[in-house]
Structures are given as C-alpha cells and as structure tokens.
C-alpha cells in the first residue's frame, strides 16, 4: 500500500498554519455608522504577496480543457495562472503550465515543453475581468483559445497529445525552483475549471455564467474552484465534491512559526543538502550550526541528521588533475570542505550528529568511481568513531555507511546512514544491523530515495558501471519494508522548495513515513543558500510529530505548507 500524503498534510497544516500567517495588507471594511468602535479586518491573500493555492492531489487524467477568470492591472507582467512546471528537464512527467506573458498574451506549456505556444490574442492587461479557455482538440491536434467566449486563436501540432500530470497544480505561480525566483501571477484569479477532453464553444459560454459548477459533465469535470474576486479563504473546496480541494500555500516567503503550544519530549533536526549554503553563504551556514549548539537544550535536540551533499564538490572532470581546470576545481573543493568541516565540528561533543555522503561528496561523481578521499579527509573515521552515538560502520576507516544509536524517553533509536544509491553489499550489511537491533526504533538516512511528486526512485545513476548500486525502490524492497521497526526514511538530493512526505506499509503492517528534505535550490532576497532546518518535535504520549522548516537567520518558518503535524504510529 502506497499513500502520498498531500491531502493528509494539507489538512494537518490548516490548523497549524492559522497561527503562523504573515499576512498581506488587510482589507478594511468600516461601518457607516459613526458610532462603530473599530474597523472589521478581513485578510487578503494574493500571488503578488507570494500566496498561492495548491491542489491536494495530482490530476488523474489529462487536463484537456482549461478555463479561468482573471484580471490583470495595466502594465502587468503576467505570470502563471495554474501549473505544475518545475524546471526544464526535471523528468517529473506531465508538466503543464497555463500563463500570460508581459504583453497580455495567453501562453501554454504542454507535456514537459514538447509543445509551447503563445497565442495571438488581444492584450488582457486592461484591469478588467476576462474569461480565458484553452481547449485541446484531439481530432484537430490543436489547442483552441477562447477569450470571453469567443474563439481568439488556435495552434496545431503533432505534439498536443494527452498528458498524465503526475504532480499537483498550483494556482497563481509555477513550481519552478532550483536557483531562480518564481514569477507570480501579477493580477487576480477568481475561478478555474478543468475538464478531461475537449469542450465546445457553447460549454465555454455556459461555464462563464456559473461560479460553483456542480455538474460533472458525464465524468469529464476534473475540478472547479471558485476563489472569489479577492482571496480570503485558507481552504477552497472543489465545487463538484470530488475532494481535490485547494489549500492556501506560500512560495518564497517566510511566515511566523506556529505550534508554540505543542508539547513535545524531544526533537530531531534535519539538514537537507547544505551544499548551496556552504558554497554561497558560508558565514550563515556557520551561524546555523551555532544555533543548533546554542539551542540544544531549549529545543530538546537529541540528534542532528544531515542528508548528504555536504559540499558542492565532486564535479571534477575525469581528466588528470594536472589539467588546470581540474586542479582549480579541486582546490575550490578543499575550500568548501573546509567550511563544511568547520560547521559540523562546532557540534562535536555538544550535539549528537550523523551524516551520509551525497553524489557531490564523491571525488568523481560521473565515472562510477567510489573514491571519497576528500570526504574521508575532512570527516575522518578516526574522529567520528569516537563521538557520541557512533555504533559502527560498514568498513572500518570509512564514514560512507555508518549507524548511530541513542536513547530518549526510554526509547532506543538507531539511525542507519547509507551511501548515495547503496551498493548491494551495503544493503545486506544494513539488513544485518536491523536484525541485530530488533527493539530499536530505526530511521534510514540515505541521500537519494524519493522524487518531488512523492514517488520512490526506480532507477539509479552513480554505480551502474559495476552493476551493484540500488534504486530507491530496490532499497525499499530489500531493506525498508522488511523490518517492522523501520518507521522513517530521510532523503534529499532532489531540489524542491518544500518538504515532501509519503507513507508506505511494510510487510508486517507497519507504517513507514518518508521525508524528502532539500532546500538547496530555495531562493530569497539574496539568492541561493537559505539556512533551513527541518525541525521534528516528538510527543510520545500522542504519537505526533510537529514539523517546521525553520530559519535561524530570519527567525521564521519557510512557507506555510512546511508546518504540519503527523502521527508516527507507535
């Protein structure tokens, strides 16, 4: 049984997020009666202030007909109305984006960019409400654009086939990340309607008259969401009742920290790929590590777990290091490793910590070479095997595969740290460790395991030359699902602005919760390198984890949707 937790997390965060809103300027309504004591405030959310709506689930069929009511101020630069575009070449599958350009022209990005087109329509940036409909006509192999119920343009191409949009849609912004700030829709979005299959001009005109569409159109209606002229709701129900509702999210936005009333026994602090902050903002990285030390007691931090890519190195060309370009890169690697080592050393004998190597922590990550000379130089076995919690390694003298133990609240924990795409012998060793610790609560920490839309990797990349590496799914089948005391998996590797969560069921009926945490592509005012710590607060009595993506530098949480609570089923 596999369950991706979009809807569960969306429901869980709504209660938490209510406490943490960093609101746009509120709309003020005053009573005409001069005797009114105070104005009535109703918060407004809009994409210009970095709010958006996210659908709880991906579409289950091709979103062939798209309708939206939009209003763009004069001079608007446009932006994404709705889409799940991440970045070119992401390989996520079924990427679609409906947007407007800076000239007020409607654009479509279809099927991972296999079809891209800007329609020749009258400019829409006139500060008036307009109804836009884009229909994929399978017979004509064309997209048709209707503006205010009238056919405005069409485009034919052999590349306009159906798509399977695996990743959920956002309203008011694209999902694009990895080093470039998002472009929010500069305007207002009142309503969006999606059908599987083509609708005709009469249907377009009929839909223009209805806000809360409830007729499923013979099963073709995939969703209708009425947001209102001004966004004020934190949760918008899909009007036909199919359950794919829209939840208010934020993007590239710090908000207040919620959950202050949550009582917890201890915390884990998770560090996703720190390569960007190590390389771009080394002092803020060091300050982040100091925060972990300074707040160890107040935050009840039992263990800091780093998910790999401790530096942005490992990209040296295969040619000999006598090549000037290779030597320059190698020297730069030394600088970054020095920063990483300095930061983690601040935790020595003060806060328990462990880590895994990512693909960037290998000497040559593109040729199947297992060498980790720099990784083991700056994170030496001779030192780390003496620090609190260290319990063993796959190979003595090598920190690539280790396990750590600790006890808290009478519970014995084991953190199993496995290399990037673990080799088969490593996985067998990990199985033996699990068998030797049947009463420990086990966390598997490995660099690459999940992808951004919550599925487990089915392919591996690094070690194919010797044929012994494992994909995420092979690791799941060969290790993770086999032991009933494995309750959590942590991974990074795939750049994504938000934490991705999924659950699976092991062969013993146990629930395994997996988290993908990788903020390396997150950008804010000063570019790459945010100091985000995924804090997990555990309450053993209720079996809940309170989660928050926290920045010590900003003393704030990153995006509403990264504050939520989950049960961990023990």
pLDDT digits (tens, 9 = 90+) for 455-483: 999 987 654 445 578 999 999 999 999 99
340 and 310 in contact (C-beta within 8 Å)? Answer: yes
> What confidence score (pLDDT) does residue 328 get?
59
Burial state string for 345-366 with b = 16 or more CB within 10 A and e = fewer than 16: ebbeeebbbbbbbbbbbbbebe
Asked if residue 145 has pLDDT above 50, the reply is yes
Task: Please give the mean pLDDT across all residues of the chain.
Answer: 88
Q: Considering only 154-168, 263-277, 528-542, which range has the smallest mean pLDDT?
A: 154-168
Coil, helix or strand at residue 92: coil
Is it the case that residue 316 has pLDDT exceeding 70?
no
Same domain, 311 and 450: yes
Asked if residue 423 belongs to a domain, the reply is yes
Same domain as 336, residue 216: no
Q: Give yes or no: residues 178 and 295 share one domain.
A: no
Mean pLDDT of 137-157: 96
Residue 277 counted as domain residue: yes
Cα separation of the two ends of the chain? 18
Give the per-residue pLDDT at 33.
40
Tell me the whole-structure pTM to 2 decimals.
0.89
CA distance 215 to 193: 12
pLDDT in tens, 544-559: 999 999 999 999 999 9
* Residue 136 is assigned to a structural domain of this protein: yes
Phi, psi for 291 (deg, rounded to 5): -60, -40
Tell which of 252, 278, 305 closes a domain.
252
Residue 88 has pLDDT above 70, yes or no: no
3-state secondary structure of 384: helix
Ranking 75-79, 484-488, 527-531 by mean pLDDT, the lowest is 527-531
Average pLDDT over residues 6-27: 44
Q: What is the pLDDT of residue 13?
A: 47
Q: Contact at 8 Å (CB) between 297 and 266?
A: no
**Residue 76 pLDDT more than 50?**
yes
Residue for token digits 């012998």?
A: 425
pLDDT at 3 over 60: no
- 261 and 303, same domain (yes or no): yes
Q: Is residue 11 part of a domain?
A: no
User: Does the pLDDT at position 11 exceed 50?
Assistant: no
Cβ-count burial 198-228 (b if 16+ within 10 Å, e if not)? bbeeebbeebbeeeebeeebeebbbbbbbbe
Same domain, 242 and 271: no
Distance of CA 288 to the CA centre of its chain: 21
pLDDT tops 80 at residue 505: yes
Q: 481 and 351 in one domain?
A: yes
Give pLDDT, residue 119. 98
Compute the average pLDDT of residues 191-195.
Answer: 98
The residue that leads in pLDDT, 95 or 35, is: 95
Give the residue carrying structure tokens 């039992």.
302
Residue 26 pLDDT: 35
Q: Is residue 200 part of a domain?
A: yes
Q: Are residues 392 and 263 in the same domain?
A: yes
Please report the pLDDT score of residue 314 as a whole number.
60
Q: What three-state secondary structure class fits 254?
A: strand
Asked if 53 and 233 count as a contact pair (C-beta separation under 8 A), the reply is no
Same domain, 332 and 225: no
Choosing from 252, 278, 299, the residue where a domain stops is 252
Average pLDDT in the 419-438 region?
A: 96
pLDDT band at 94 (very low <50, low <70, confident <90, very high): confident
By three-state DSSP, how is residue 533 classified? strand
Backbone region of residue 386 per phi and psi (left: phi > 0; alpha: psi in -120 to 50; beta: other values): alpha
Nearest to 493 by CA among 364, 356, 352: 356
**Residue 4 confidence class, pLDDT cut points 50, 70, 90:** very low
Whether residue 234 has pLDDT greater than 90: yes
CATH number reported for the structural domain that contains residue 155 in this entry:
2.60.120.200
* Domain total in the chain: 2
Least confident of 21-30, 206-215, 218-227, 553-562: 21-30
197 pLDDT more than 70: yes
| Per-residue pLDDT at 92 exceeds 70 | no
Nearest by Cα to 127 from 188, 173, 210, 80: 188
pLDDT at residue number 514 = 98
Residues 197 and 266 occupy one common structural domain: no
Stretch 422-450: mean pLDDT = 97
Q: Which of 494, 478, 496 is nearest to 486 (CA)?
A: 478
Q: What's the pLDDT at 325?
A: 58
Q: Inform me whether the pLDDT recorded for 375 exceeds 80.
A: yes
Q: Which tokens hold the place of 486? A: 């494995």
Helices 282-294 and 324-345: crossing angle, nearest 10°?
20
The pLDDT of residue 74 is 93
By the 8 A CB rule, do 552 and 531 touch? yes
Query: CA 226, 227, 230, 234: dihedral to nearest 10 degrees?
Result: 150
14 occurs within a structural domain? no
The secondary structure of residue 433, as a DSSP letter, is: H
Q: How far apart are CA 198 and CA 135, in angstroms?
A: 6
Q: Which of 4-8, 369-373, 488-492, 517-521 has the lowest mean pLDDT?
A: 4-8
Query: Alpha helix locations (H) across 243-384?
Result: 275-280, 282-294, 324-345, 373-378, 381-384
Q: 4 lies in a domain?
A: no
Final residue belonging to a domain, choices 209, 236, 252? 252
Give the span between the Cα atoms of 46 and 141, in whole angstroms. 35
**Same structural domain, 155 and 228:** yes
Percent of the chain with pLDDT over 70: 85
Same domain, 243 and 269: no
Section 181-192 average pLDDT: 92
* Nearest Cα residue to 394 out of 359, 460, 353, 446: 446
Q: Which domain holds residue 43?
A: 23-252
- What phi and psi values does residue 269 have, to the nearest 5 degrees? -110, 120
Lowest mean pLDDT among 185-194, 253-262, 324-333, 395-404: 324-333
**For position 404, what pLDDT does the model report?**
98
Q: What is the pLDDT of residue 86?
A: 76
Which residue in this structure is represented by tokens 């790929």? 273
Question: What confidence tens digit (pLDDT) does each residue in 320-339 have?
Answer: 445 565 555 556 678 889 99
- Per-residue confidence (pLDDT) for residue 259, from 0 to 100: 81
CATH number for the domain spanning 489: value is 3.60.21.10
**3-state secondary structure at position 500:** strand
> 224 in a domain, yes or no?
yes
- Find where tokens 């003496």 sit: 386
Same-domain status, 262 and 248: no
């Amino acid at each position: 049984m596999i369950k991706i937790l979009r809807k569960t997390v969306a429901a869980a965060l709504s209660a938490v997020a209510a406490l943490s809103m960093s609101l746009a300027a509120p709309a003020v309504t005053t009573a005409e009666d001069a005797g009114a004591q105070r104005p009535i405030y109703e918060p407004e959310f809009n994409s210009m202030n970095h709010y958006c709506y996210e659908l709880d689930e991906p579409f289950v069929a091709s979103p062939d007909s798209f309708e939206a009511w939009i209003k763009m101020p004069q001079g608007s630069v446009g932006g994404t109305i709705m889409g799940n575009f991440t970045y070119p070449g992401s390989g996520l599958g079924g990427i679609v984006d409906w947007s407007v350009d800076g000239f007020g022209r409607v654009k479509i990005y279809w099927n991972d960019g296999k079809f891209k087109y800007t329609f020749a329509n009258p400019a829409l940036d006139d500060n008036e409400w307009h109804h836009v409909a884009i229909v994929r006509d399978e017979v004509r192999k064309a997209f048709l654009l209707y503006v205010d119920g009238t056919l405005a343009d069409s485009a034919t191409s052999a590349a306009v086939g159906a798509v399977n949009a695996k990743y959920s849609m956002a309203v008011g912004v694209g999902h694009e990340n990895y080093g470039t700030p998002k472009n929010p829709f500069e305007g207002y979005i009142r309503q969006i309607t999606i059908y599987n299959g083509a609708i005709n001009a009469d249907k377009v005109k009929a839909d223009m008259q209805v806000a809360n569409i409830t007729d499923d159109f013979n099963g073709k209606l995939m969703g209708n969401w009425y947001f209102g002229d001004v966004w004020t709701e934190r949760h918008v129900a899909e009007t036909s009742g199919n359950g794919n509702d829209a939840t208010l999210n934020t993007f590239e936005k710090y908000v207040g920290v919620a959950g202050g009333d949550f009582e917890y026994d201890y915390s884990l602090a998770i560090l996703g790929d720190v390569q960007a902050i190590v390389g771009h903002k080394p002092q803020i990285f060091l300050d982040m590590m100091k925060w972990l030390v300074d707040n160890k007691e107040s935050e009840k931090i039992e263990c800091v777990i780093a998910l790999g890519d401790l530096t942005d190195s490992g990209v040296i060309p295969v040619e000999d290091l006598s090549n000037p370009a290779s030597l320059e890169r190698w020297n730069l690697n030394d600088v970054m490793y020095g920063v990483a080592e300095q930061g983690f050393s601040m935790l020595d004998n003060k806060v328990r910590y462990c880590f895994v190597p990512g693909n960037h922590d290998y000497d040559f990550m593109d040729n199947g070479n297992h060498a980790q000379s720099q990784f083991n130089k700056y994170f030496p076995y001779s030192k780390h095997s003496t620090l609190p919690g260290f319990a063993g390694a796959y190979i003595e003298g090598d920190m690539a595969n280790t396990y750590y133990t600790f006890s808290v609240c009478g519970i014995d924990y084991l953190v199993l740290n496995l290399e990037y795409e673990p080799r088969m012998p490593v996985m067998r060793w990990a199985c033996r460790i699990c068998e030797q610790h049947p009463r420990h609560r086990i966390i598997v920490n490995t660099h690459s395991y999940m992808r951004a839309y919550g599925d487990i990797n089915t392919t591996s990349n690094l070690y194919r030359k010797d044929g012994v590496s494992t994909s995420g799914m092979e690791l799941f089948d060969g290790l993770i699902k086999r032991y009933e005391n494995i309750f959590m998996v942590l991974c990074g590797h795939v750049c994504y602005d938000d934490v991705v969560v999924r659950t699976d069921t092991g062969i013993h009926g146990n629930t395994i919760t997996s988290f993908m945490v990788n903020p390396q592509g997150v950008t804010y005012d000063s570019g790459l390198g945010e100091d985000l710590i995924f804090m997990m607060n555990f309450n053993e009595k209720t079996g809940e984890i309170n989660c928050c993506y926290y920045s010590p530098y900003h003393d704030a949480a990153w995006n509403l949707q990264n504050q939520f609570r989950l049960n961990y089923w023990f």
